[in-house]
Amino acid sequence: MLPRQQRAEGNFSSVVGFVLLGFSDLPNLQGLLFGIFSLMYTFIIIGNGIIMIITVVDSALQTPMYFFLANFSSLEVCYVSVTVPRILVNLWTQNRSISLLSCATQMCFFLMLGSTESFLLAVMAYDRYVAICNPLLYPVVMNQKVCTQLAVGSWISGIPVQIGQTFQVFSLPFCGSNQINHFFCDIPLLIKLACGDTSRNEICVYLVFILFSMIPFVLILSSYFRIISTILKMPSTASQFKAFSTCSSHLIVVVLFFGPGTITYLRPKSNHSAGTDKMFSLFYIFVTPLFNPIIYSLRNRDVIAALKRLLPKRTDRRSL
């Protein structure tokens, strides 16, 4: 067992590790939850992995839109892998302890990848804006160099800020309870366990969230406002339907990601409850990565066609 506390100066005890309570309040459902989450994790890896493969091997999908989709699927695999394996281990072993270093590492990667997802969704919205509103300039504006720069910028832009925010949170003195009533290490609950004045940290959380979530979200809304205005001016209903269909999948993912995240991080501290936090966290940890391959495959004719072209090749190879 991980030692819960060690004596520090003064009348406080300094926490040297945490206990992720997770779903310990549902003792009779541990096995069922392990099975459900294992299946969801497997489907997320396989589903997003298939999208990554077909966007690389199928020449018809060698476009900026599918280049960003491949990046997004790669991100989803990384995103769930930061939290879900720990959840599964805790459910299987019932050992919910986590060291300070492991907790800080998990939180840092979770925040960095969350920032990447925000920016990547904004980049994907910009790609659709250029394609629909300026189709003649699309090949020039969204050339390979620009696409690569936008993708790399999305991946690395949040790294220094989120490392700094993680360092700031774990520089706080933690005393008293070391139990985190959640299934992964997240900022609001860690700040809640800290001793002393945490108002500065709470302000930083709001500012960072605005910078890495609200600004990309506003850019997405701005892009789609112009996209919808352009689509409504199209003379053909068929053209309007085709344009809307290329954007609807992205919009669904945007709502699934930003909605729960906004409620989680911008709610007043007094309104936080463990049950609500867990419910909303399940959305952006499981639901968005799970629905991503479904949304972008079942609602996308190009992806379905690419899958059909890929499957016969594998079938032919097996028959030889």
Which of helix, strand or coil describes residue 19? strand
Beta strand extents in 149-213 (DSSP E only): 179-180
Bigger pLDDT: 264 vs 135: 135
The model carries a pTM of 0.85
How would residue 8 be classed by pLDDT, with cut points 50, 70 and 90? Answer: very low
* pLDDT surpassing 80 at residue 276: no
In sequence order, the 6+-apart residues with CB closer than 8 A to the CB of 216 are 118, 119, 121, 122
Sign of the dihedral defined by the CA atoms of residues 66, 68, 71, 76, in that order: negative
Task: Assign domain 16-319 to its CATH superfamily.
Answer: Rhodopsin 7-helix transmembrane proteins (1.20.1070.10)
Choice between 53 and 318, residue whose per-residue pLDDT is larger: 53
Domain boundary assignment for the chain: 16-319
With 0-12 / 13-18 / 19 or more C-beta atoms within 10 angstroms meaning exposed / middle / buried, residue 318 is exposed
Task: Assess contact for 127 and 219: CB atoms under 8 A.
Answer: no
pLDDT of residue 9: 42
- Residue 277: which pLDDT band, with cuts at 50, 70 and 90? confident
User: To which residue do tokens 């998990």 refer?
Assistant: 106
Q: What's 276-314 look like in SS3?
A: HHHHHHHHHHHHHHHHHHHHHHHCCHHHHHHHHHHHHHH
Average pLDDT of the residues in 177-188 = 87
Mean pLDDT of 37-48: 93
Of the given ranges (40-54, 149-163, 208-222, 288-302), which has the lowest mean pLDDT? 288-302
**pLDDT reading at 234 higher than 90:** no
pLDDT at 141: 93
pLDDT of the residue at 174: 82
- 320 pLDDT more than 70: no
Cβ contacts of residue 117 below 8 Å, gap of 6+? 72, 75, 79, 257
Mean pLDDT to the nearest integer, 181-187: 88
Closest by CA to 227, choosing from 139, 295, 301, 126, is: 126
**How many angstroms separate the CA atoms of 201 and 189, rounded?**
12
What's residue 1's pLDDT? Answer: 44
Range with lowest mean pLDDT among 43-47, 154-158, 270-274: 270-274
Q: Is the pLDDT of residue 12 over 80?
A: no
Kindly indicate the confidence band of residue 4, based on its pLDDT and cuts at 50, 70 and 90: very low
Stretch 152-173: mean pLDDT, rounded? Answer: 92
Residue type, 185: C
- Range of weakest confidence among 2-6, 50-54, 69-73, 243-247: 2-6
The predicted pLDDT at position 218 comes to 92
Whose tokens are 């309040």? That residue is 25
- Output the pLDDT for position 238: 75
- Least confident range from 83-92, 114-123, 229-238, 304-313: namely 304-313
Exposed/middle/buried for residue 216 (C-beta within 10 Å: 0-12, 13-18, 19+): buried
What is the model's pLDDT at position 118?
93
CA gap 43, 27 in Å, rounded: 25
Furthest-apart CA atoms within the chain: distance in Å: 75
Q: What is the mean pLDDT of the chain?
A: 83
> How many CB atoms neighbour CB 55 within 10 A?
25
Whether 41 has a pLDDT exceeding 60, the answer reads yes
The shares of helix, strand and coil residues in the chain, as percent rounded to the nearest 5, are 75, 5, 20
- The stretch 221-238 carries a mean pLDDT of 86
